[in-house]
Structure 1
Amino acid sequence: MQRLAIAPSQFQNQQIILTAEQQHYLSRVLRLRDGDRFIAMDGLGHWWLAKLEGNQAQILEPILQPNTELPVAITLMAALPKGNGFDEVVRYSTEVGVVAIVPLVSDRTLLNPSSGKLERWRRIATEAAEQSERQIVPTILDPVPFATALSLAKDKNYICVARGDSPHLRDCLQNKDFAGSGDSPNPQSPIPNPQHPSIAIATGPEGGWTAAEIENAIASGFQPVSLGRRILRAVTAPLVALSLVAAAFEDEKIVG
């Protein structure tokens, strides 16, 4: 059954007030007609069976779905690549299971994104969450300098580096001891505090991190890690790193 992400503000008295874009998507793209049913998801873990009624939809009943989320809350901090490469980063990282994406402006970042880019990334994340049957839609923050992002450190923090003798991320993830995990509420953080233990993964730009950036990350509690002997593109490294995390924790029950 088709899925549609709905903002919580669109729910009114067992009705969903559809936007013009959503009406077009349901009727023109999905070819649904009045009376057809679809799944409405609020991006916060709740799903409902809904019936299309013109420019609205009637909520029929809540749906209990199997948990599709990882038992760790992953925040991806990715340096912005040139061109439209960050579109791919957002789409694939959403499918893999991140809860938040922080676009980074690093010392070697070439892209200066407009406000329209941020809106596009959030739309891509919503579409990817619908397609992959995620229970939540990842939060995408405004682009920030890397030094600012370091203050968003989680329970475990890794910065991916291309060269050197850093341990492989896979090996670091073998130790799943998250004792004392679960972020204490931080009202200063724009990222929702997860109920699960949390991991931050930082990936660099074309040309890699500067030595100063790596030093600052280490001072902020980030562990340098390798993704292998090959040099990965700025749009490939996030997917490789997130896939390693997902593979390590997909079926795990973390004891804190």
Structure 2
Amino acid sequence: MSESKPEMSAPRFYAPSPLAAGPLTLTGPEAKHLTAVLRLGPGDAAELFDGEGARAAATVQAVRGKGAKTAAELLCEAPVYADPPASPLTLAVAAPKGDRFRWLIEKATELGVARIVPLICERSTVDPGGGKLDKLRATALAACKQCRRDRLPEIADPLPFAAFLEQGLPTTLFHVTGDRFAPPAPGPYAILIGPEGGFTEEEVTLATASGARIAALPTPILRTETAAIAAAAVFAAAS
């Protein structure tokens, strides 16, 4: 789940359009951040990334407009492309309370998780939908800029537990009754983390019937967000 290491000096900006050598215009929040927050101007260095594995060194050429109409003109060098992960990880997790989910998203992004699915379980107490998803996606973007990750994780729409299992991904469900986690074979994989009350016996049975493995972390009783990051870290270390 690692990516090649980019240069660490220039501030980073998200440019979702395909990167190519030549001129590029940043608008919206990224342009405002470049000009009003970092106060970059003509001649300053920057790095752009498209969230799909490409990044490019760039130089600010001009800044125009103010507020919502701010635009920054940059000149890009030829982009560099990061290899896709050999074992992309999907983290399906019941939403924890408050800001804990944003913390979880930030750390999962830093660990290279490819896809995060808010999981709706029988004991779920938090609705992860609506405007919360926009905030979670913004958190993932900020984490990519901070840790210089080239690929944005997908923050998927919430899915009921059974519907997620129907996707057919090789899966490990983490539960106190499980065995020690064994590294899976290379390839796409999913790990399931339940809500504060844990998965029900019916959910564990359904997961087992669908072919999922049941595993336990070394410390069996953890907060949802702690368990999710611990499991993702174990997977990353084994990949």
Q: 2:233 aligns with which of 239, 243, 246?
A: 243
Aligned match of 1:159 in 165, 173, 178? 173
Aligned partners of 1:13 and 1:38: how far apart in 2?
14
Q: Give me the whole-angstrom Cα distance separating, in 1, the residues matched to 2:206 and 2:124.
A: 17
Q: Aligned pair 1:206/2:214, yes or no? A: no
Q: Secondary structure at the match of 2:230?
A: helix
The aligned counterpart of 2:47 is 39
After the TM superposition, which residues 214-229 of structure 1 pair with which residues of structure 2 at under 5 Å, given as runs?
A: 214-229=204-219
Write out aligned runs for 1:177-216 (5 A). Answer: 177-178=185-186, 197-216=187-206
How far did 1:144 drift? 1.5
Distance 2:217 2:199 in 1: 14
Runs (5+) with no aligned partner, structure 1? 179-196, 250-256
Q: Which amino acid is the alignment partner of residue 152 of structure 2?
A: V
In the alignment, residue 151 of structure 2 is paired with which amino acid?
I
Deviation, structure 1 residue 66: 6.8
**Which among 189, 207, 220 is matched to residue 230 of structure 1?**
220
Aligned to 1:253: none
Alpha-carbon distance, 1:103 to partner: 0.7
Partners of 2:193 and 2:228 within 8 A in 1: yes
Equivalent residue for 1:76? 91
Structure 2 counterpart of 1:6: 15
SS class of match (2:101)? helix
Q: Which residue pairs with 1:183 in the alignment?
A: none
TM-score (norm. length: structure 2): 0.85
- Distance in 1 of aligned mates of 2:14 and 2:225: 26
Q: How far apart are 1:217 and its partner, in Å?
A: 1.3
**How many angstroms apart in 1 are the aligned matches of 2:163 and 2:73?**
42
**What percentage of aligned pairs have identical amino acids?**
32
- Please give the root-mean-square deviation of Cα atoms over the aligned residues, in Å: 2.1
SS at match of 1:148: helix
Query: Which residue in 2 is equivalent to 1:192?
Result: none
Unaligned runs of 5+ in 2: 1-9, 64-70
CA 1:84–1:177: 2 relative to 1, 3 Å: closer
Residue 70 of structure 1 deviates from its aligned partner by: 4.7
SS at match of 1:235: helix
Deviations 1:19-40 (A, max 9, x none): 3211221122223123312111
1:29 maps to what in 2? 37
